[in-house]
Amino acid sequence: MLLERRLNELLEQRTATSEVLQTISASTGDLNPVFKSILEKATRICEAKFGVLVLTEGEKFRMAAMHGVPPAFVEKRTREPVFTPGPNNNLVLATQRRKTQHVPDLRRHRSYADREPAAVALADVAGARTLVVVPMLKDNRPIGAVAIYRTEVRPFSDKQVELVTNFAAQAVIAIENTRLLNELRESLQQQTATANVLKAISRSTFDLQTVLDTLVESATRLCGANHGWLFRLDGENLHWVASFGYATDAHDRLRDFFKTREVLVDRGSVTGRAALEAKVVHVPDVLTDPDYTYGDAQKVGGYRAGLGVPLVRAGSVIGVIFVNKIAPEPFSEKQVELAATFADQAVIAIENVRLFEAEQQRTRELAKSLEELRTTQDRLVQTQKLASLGQLTAGIAHEIKNPLNFVNNFSGLSAELIDELGAALMDTTMSERKRAEIAELMDTLRGNFDKVVQHGRRADTIVKNMLLHSRESSGEHRTVDINALVEESLNLAWHGARAEKQDFEITLKQSFDPSAGEVDIFPQDIRRALLNLISNGFYAAIKRRTATNSGNYAPVLTASTRNLGDRVEIRIRDNGTGIAPDVKEKMFNPFFTTKPTGEGTGLGLSISHDIIVKQHAGAIEVDTQPGEFTEIRVILPRTAVFV
């Protein structure tokens, strides 16, 4: 019978131990189920009434788990989970001496005789009499204790004491496993957060905000903070750039607060102090910090603990990461290290973006310089071609000029000789029929010579325009008021048209931008180009009036200017005949003209185009609607870019 009982006890002990170990292995970091299982098995197998498990916190103890404890004692320990026993308390003796305390009768123990509150509460409130307290030791360092109690005076057997000792050792194993598991989880979280940040840095070269948002969120989560902020130093103050928070309403209020206010670099705030001193600033409770004066932000956010970590690049502070807690409790050393790590990553991200943007800017500048160099080279080649062509044109024009003058002079002289011949024939006797034939021949010959003279003069005009076309520039370039130049060209063109035709009438309108300012140009050449464009506008408007036999049509020409920053715009608009699409494509080609024979050489627009585009590196655009209007838009660089 005794042997059977002993076997049952051993089987129950092994089963209990196995169940506790299973609970430990199944634990995912929550020790409460493990502690409750240990206490339940220890009190049941050792025939105790109730049991407690406490953890040490310096000289104090924290109630970690209870089993079977009377409600009155549970209420007391719930109100006071952390307590400080007297020097003769068995919890103190067991942990200090690293030795199990077995008390047959608590009411006869010194701690009860001295009326220590913890002993009195156990005896009078919980009804404890006999107890066993086993210290929980980790590397011979007390981390807590397991205690079981009987409400009657009946000492525990050695086997029962040994069993409680085993359960205490299992509790230590559970605590150590949980610690290692938590460290592993923290390490994994840190590695994951770091990987996410590095991934964001590598993928968000153009988007620094994404990286900073990821950094702040990771720092807030891993540091156990309620809110996280990142400020950049802009000038003399700190400005909000990123944040993360769990309490949405409070976080939103505080974010809006920081968006509209700068944080001064001084000791009045955790953030400002970190930037001022260029070192980590840790304040467990800002309300008890004598230097903290940033009360407005604290009232809005409701935080108490603050941690500020500066972002330092090349010895200079460029920003601060600030994390805070609602509770007035310090951050751990590990959390401070983590915040510093994220601050370093923020510096790397900011520096990467700065270097990338600098490289991009340098690339853009080099591309612009290369484009300008190519443009200059093209312009130089074109100028050389034009110079060679101009020399050739000038040579040909001079060579044509001499025989052309001979043709013109002798055509006029021959016409005069015909008149003299006619006068001489008047004295000659001949039949009327013969005289009529001679007169008819002389009239035909005179008409032919008149046509030779007419076309000779047109050829002479073409030669003169060819010489103008071959000339590179007139005078020196200088800075002039563009509004004054356009107005002067408009007046010269109008007076020239009136001098040519006394009945010339057209309405002139001006719309000059007062901010158009000055441009560096060859004034004489630009004036010549504008005169040509305005004269063509006059011609188109008068031609439309002639085609409509006046009627209700009123010819109008408008000249306007506009400031384009580093360029200036000139518009010449007429309400004349407009230009057909096929003509528009060829209107700037040399010798192409739509005017009747004798009214144009086709070189005016070509010369204007060369002056504006090739000589001044400008642009000329044409907008037209046949039968309605033509508008020519001239754009000139404000500074000289001549070749």
User: What b/e readout covers 520-549, taking b as 16+ CB neighbours within 10 angstroms?
Assistant: bbbbebbbbbbbbbbbbbbbbbbebbeeee
Q: Using CB atoms within 10 Å of the CB of residue 566, give its burial: 0 to 12 exposed, 13 to 18 middle, 19+ buried.
A: exposed
What DSSP string describes 116-175?
Answer: -HHHHIIIIIS---EEEEEEEEETTEEEEEEEEEESSS-PPPHHHHHHHHHHHHHHHHHH
Phi, psi of 242 (to 5 degrees): -160, 155
pLDDT tens, residue by residue, 601-613? 445 677 788 888 8
pLDDT tens, residue by residue, 393-406? 656 666 666 676 76
> What is the average per-residue pLDDT within 418-435?
72
Q: Please give the pLDDT value at position 191.
A: 58
Q: Please give the pLDDT value at position 638.
A: 87
> What is the average per-residue pLDDT within 341-364?
81
Q: Is the per-residue pLDDT at 341 higher than 70?
A: yes
Q: Using CB atoms within 10 Å of the CB of residue 619, give its burial: 0 to 12 exposed, 13 to 18 middle, 19+ buried.
A: middle
Residue with the two structure tokens 């006071």: 80
**More confident call, 388 vs 273:** 273
> What is the CB neighbour count within 10 angstroms for residue 276?
18
pLDDT tens, residue by residue, 512-530? 999 999 998 888 888 888 9
Question: How far from chain centre, in Å, is Cα 83?
Answer: 56
144 residue type, one letter = G
Which domains, ranges and CATH numbers included, belong to the chain? 2-182 (3.30.450.40), 204-331 (3.30.450.40), 363-472 (1.10.287), 475-637 (3.30.565.10)
Provide the token pair at 510. 């001006």
pLDDT-derived band at 245 (thresholds 50, 70, 90) equals: confident
Phi, psi of 352 (to 5 degrees): -60, -45
pTM for the structure as a whole: 0.45
Element (H, E) at 263: strand 263-264
pLDDT-derived band at 6 (thresholds 50, 70, 90) equals: very low
Q: Using CB atoms within 10 Å of the CB of residue 333, give its burial: 0 to 12 exposed, 13 to 18 middle, 19+ buried.
A: exposed
Q: Is the per-residue pLDDT at 454 higher than 90?
A: no
Provide the token pair at 113. 């005789």
What sign for the dihedral angle of Cα 245, 251, 257, 260?
positive
Contact (CB, 8 A) for 592 and 586: yes
Q: Please give the pLDDT value at position 601.
A: 47
Q: Any idea what the Cα angle at residue 605 is, between residues 601 and 606, rounded to 5°?
A: 85
Q: Is the per-residue pLDDT at 181 higher than 80?
A: no
Which residues are CB-contacts of 375 (< 8 A; sequence separation ≥ 6)? Answer: 617
Kindly list the strands in the beta sheet with 567-574, ordered across the sheet, starting from the edge strand earlier in the chain: 507-511, 556-563, 567-574, 629-637, 619-625
Separation between Cα atoms, residue 200 and residue 203, nearest integer Å:
5
pLDDT-derived band at 205 (thresholds 50, 70, 90) equals: low
Q: Is the per-residue pLDDT at 332 higher than 80?
A: yes
DSSP 522: -
Most confident of 111-125, 541-555, 597-611: 111-125
Contact (CB, 8 A) for 157 and 149: no
Q: Any idea what the Cα angle at residue 215 is, between residues 210 and 220, rounded to 5°?
A: 130
DSSP 106: G
Q: Please give the pLDDT value at position 8.
A: 47
Q: Is the per-residue pLDDT at 145 higher than 90?
A: yes
pLDDT tens, residue by residue, 473-483? 555 778 999 99
Separation between Cα atoms, residue 352 and residue 347, nearest integer Å:
8
> What is the average per-residue pLDDT within 461-482?
64
Question: Could you tell me the end-to-end alpha-carbon distance of the chain, in angstroms, rounded to an integer?
Answer: 122
431 residue type, one letter = S
Provide the token pair at 87. 């020097």
Strands 556-563 and 567-574, by their bridges, are antiparallel
Q: Please give the pLDDT value at position 557.
A: 93
pLDDT tens, residue by residue, 33-91? 888 888 998 899 899 999 999 999 988 999 999 999 999 888 888 888 888 888 999 99
pLDDT tens, residue by residue, 576-620? 888 888 887 777 776 556 655 545 544 567 778 888 888 788 899
Q: Give percent of the chain above pLDDT 70.
A: 78
Question: How far from chain centre, in Å, is Cα 595?
Answer: 56
- 115 in the Ramachandran plot: left (φ > 0), alpha (ψ -120 to 50) or beta? left
pLDDT-derived band at 633 (thresholds 50, 70, 90) equals: very high
Q: Any idea what the Cα angle at residue 266 is, between residues 263 and 267, rounded to 5°?
A: 115
pLDDT-derived band at 229 (thresholds 50, 70, 90) equals: confident
Separation between Cα atoms, residue 343 and residue 299, nearest integer Å:
26
Most confident of 99-103, 294-298, 340-344, 367-371: 99-103
Separation between Cα atoms, residue 130 and residue 116, nearest integer Å:
17
pLDDT-derived band at 11 (thresholds 50, 70, 90) equals: very low
Separation between Cα atoms, residue 48 and residue 161, nearest integer Å:
11
Q: Please give the pLDDT value at position 56.
A: 92
DSSP 31: -
Q: Is the per-residue pLDDT at 361 higher than 80?
A: yes
Q: Is the per-residue pLDDT at 458 higher than 70?
A: no
**More confident call, 291 vs 358:** 291
Q: Give percent of the chain above pLDDT 90.
A: 27
Output the CA torsion 514→515→519→525 (10° steps).
-30
Q: Please give the pLDDT value at position 583.
A: 80
Provide the token pair at 575. 């309400």
Output the CA torsion 588→590→592→593 (10° steps).
80
Residue with the two structure tokens 């292995």: 25
Contact (CB, 8 A) for 39 and 52: yes
Provide the token pair at 446. 């005179």
Q: Please give the pLDDT value at position 2.
A: 44
Q: Closest Cα to residue 130, out of 163, 109, 152?
A: 152
> What is the average per-residue pLDDT within 110-139?
91
pLDDT-derived band at 388 (thresholds 50, 70, 90) equals: low
Q: Is the per-residue pLDDT at 548 higher than 60?
A: yes
Q: Please give the pLDDT value at position 152.
A: 95
352 residue type, one letter = N
Residue with the two structure tokens 């330092």: 312
Contact (CB, 8 A) for 172 and 95: no
Point out the least confidently predicted range of 122-131, 229-238, 442-451.
442-451
Which residues are CB-contacts of 442 (< 8 A; sequence separation ≥ 6)? Answer: 418, 421, 422
Q: Using CB atoms within 10 Å of the CB of residue 43, give its burial: 0 to 12 exposed, 13 to 18 middle, 19+ buried.
A: buried
Q: Is the per-residue pLDDT at 112 higher than 70?
A: yes
Q: Please give the pLDDT value at position 514.
A: 92
What sign for the dihedral angle of Cα 167, 168, 171, 173?
negative
DSSP 610: I
What sign for the dihedral angle of Cα 493, 495, 498, 500?
negative
Q: Is the per-residue pLDDT at 104 higher than 90?
A: yes
Provide the token pair at 335. 């959390």
